[in-house]
């Protein structure tokens, strides 16, 4: 998303103080944890101070893989005992975005609205297997369905497609065939306006991603290739048309700018296209577009937010190296080309050096940048990336709330939302339970 330039600089107070902390923590983790998929006690990762909230009486959270099924969460062995635990984070998010609003939905989106809370609850269900999480998730999705019925927005993250797609997946998990059929029927009735852009958050790429989400979670061909093909044709044709005016095979414009990033630009569109059945010449266009971006990255190794920009300040999922890293990892997996895996590793170094931001969220914050290391760990098996992910996540648990209260970090314009606030932090922490399966919400499948 776009936001004022003065709010997007990497957080220099953290860069000095936090960088040494992260480096020390990563080194300590390397020395202690030789079993990345096991639960180990990390005494060097202290919990946050308790907040003036009645939830300080929440019972101690037990740290044992065996307790996952009984709704007791762990986070890499960190004992949080009545402090700002993952469970308490989840409680606050639900209370603010659902309970305190009288269970009425105004913003239904995954990005900043109630659907983001439902997505968090679905993740909590996947971790805990607690049916109460799934039931509450289903209740929120039904409210989002009503709120989005007349919406003209068509994407997964910001539109109607996200409501119907997540609703169908939840219905499958609850065994409600009638509701599953309803959401799938509603999804297939979504009409993409001719004036829709091509990017991920508001455009055709975001609708295609929703199709891929359904095919993964419901079953192959839930949304048939023939349904998606006409949209893929539109995306490719438009990209080639604008690309002919420059040196990049595919290029797109949104609000007068040719964006490169995951949210509005090339990275997000290429990411969605890589899940489609592409013709050989289309595959070459996607690969050529990624190569163009690699060859024209900034001298620092970061990626510009838009074509021709020399601004080197943004290190976010939405704009900059973090979103490009995830897309390049995807390209390495799909195409098997070493150049893409190496470019992903290079971009990840930028995130490690400059990705400790002054925001907690997923879109443009530390939570989102944590997924860079989880994605690289999944691609390479190199435990160094796991240690880095744990260092970023531990930093959030250790210090985020205190720094927000001191005015040194920004809690997000929607402080409990999935993409801007504590909802994203809670989601990231839940994903750390099984890092091999961790995926950036609404982007990685």
E strands present in 237-289: none
Residue with tokens 């509603």, as numbered in its chain: 186
Query: What gap in Å lies between CA 314 and CA 369, rounded to an integer?
Result: 12
- Pair 385, 374: CB distance under 8 Å: yes
Q: Hey, is 259 helix, strand or coil? A: strand
Measured over the CA atoms of residue 129, residue 136, residue 370 and residue 302, the dihedral's sign is positive
What CA dihedral angle connects 369, 87, 102 and 171, to 10 degrees?
80
The response to whether 10 counts as a known ligand-binding position is no
Tokens of 176: 């409600």
Query: What gap in Å lies between CA 349 and CA 393, rounded to an integer?
Result: 17
Query: What gap in Å lies between CA 302 and CA 297, rounded to an integer?
Result: 6
E strands present in 180-266: none
- Pair 348, 392: CB distance under 8 Å: no
Residue with tokens 């648990």, as numbered in its chain: 397
DSSP 297: -
The response to whether 363 counts as a known ligand-binding position is yes
Nearest to 347 by CA among 314, 396, 386, 383: 314
Cα angle 198, 200, 202; round to 5:
75
Alpha carbons within 13 A on the beta-carbon side of 282: 18
Q: Which residues contribute to the annotated binding site for Zn(2+)?
A: 318, 363-364
Q: Which residues contribute to the annotated binding site?
A: 318, 363-364
């Amino acid at each position: 998303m776009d936001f004022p330039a003065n709010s997007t600089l990497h957080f220099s107070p953290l860069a000095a103080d936090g960088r040494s902390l992260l480096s020390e923590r990563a080194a300590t983790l390397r020395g202690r944890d030789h079993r990345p998929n096991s639960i180990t006690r990390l005494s060097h990762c202290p919990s946050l101070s308790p907040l003036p909230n009645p939830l300080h009486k929440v019972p101690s959270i037990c740290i044992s893989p065996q307790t996952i099924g009984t709704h007791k969460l762990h986070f890499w062995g960190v004992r949080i005992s009545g402090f700002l635990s993952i469970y308490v984070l989840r409680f606050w998010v639900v209370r603010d975005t659902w309970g305190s609003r009288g269970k009425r939905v105004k913003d239904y989106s995954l990005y900043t609205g109630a659907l983001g809370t439902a997505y968090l609850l679905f993740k909590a269900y996947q971790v805990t297997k607690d049916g109460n999480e799934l039931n509450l998730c289903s209740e929120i999705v039904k409210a989002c369905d009503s709120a989005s019925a007349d919406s003209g927005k068509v994407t997964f993250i910001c539109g109607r497609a996200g409501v119907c797609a997540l609703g169908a997946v939840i219905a499958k998990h609850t065994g409600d065939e009638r509701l599953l059929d309803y959401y799938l029927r509603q999804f297939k009735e979504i009409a993409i306006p001719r004036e829709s852009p091509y990017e991920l958050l508001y455009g055709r790429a975001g609708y295609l991603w929703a199709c891929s989400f359904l095919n993964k979670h419901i079953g192959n061909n839930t949304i048939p290739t023939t349904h998606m093909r006409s949209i893929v044709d539109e995306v490719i044709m438009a990209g080639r048309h604008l690309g002919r005016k420059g040196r990049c095979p595919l290029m797109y414009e949104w609000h007068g700018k040719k964006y490169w990033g995951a949210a509005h630009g090339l990275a997000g569109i290429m990411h969605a296209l890589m899940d489609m059945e592409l013709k050989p010449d289309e595959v070459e266009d996607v690969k050529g577009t990624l190569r163009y971006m690699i060859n024209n990255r900034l001298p620092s190794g970061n990626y510009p937010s838009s074509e021709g920009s020399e601004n080197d300040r943004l290190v976010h999922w939405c704009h900059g190296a973090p979103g490009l890293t995830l897309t390049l990892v995807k390209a390495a997996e799909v195409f098997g080309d070493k150049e893409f895996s190496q470019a992903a590793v290079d971009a990840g170094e930028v995130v490690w050096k400059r990705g400790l931001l002054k925001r907690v969220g997923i879109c443009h914050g530390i939570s989102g940048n944590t997924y860079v290391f989880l994605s690289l760990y999944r691609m390479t098996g190199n435990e160094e990336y796991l240690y880095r992910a744990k260092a970023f996540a531990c930093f959030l648990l250790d210090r985020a709330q205190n720094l927000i209260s001191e005015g040194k970090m920004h809690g997000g314009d929607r402080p409990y939302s999935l993409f801007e606030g504590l909802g994203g932090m809670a989601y990231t922490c839940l994903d750390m339970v099984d890092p091999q399966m961790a995926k950036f919400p609404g982007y990685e499948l």
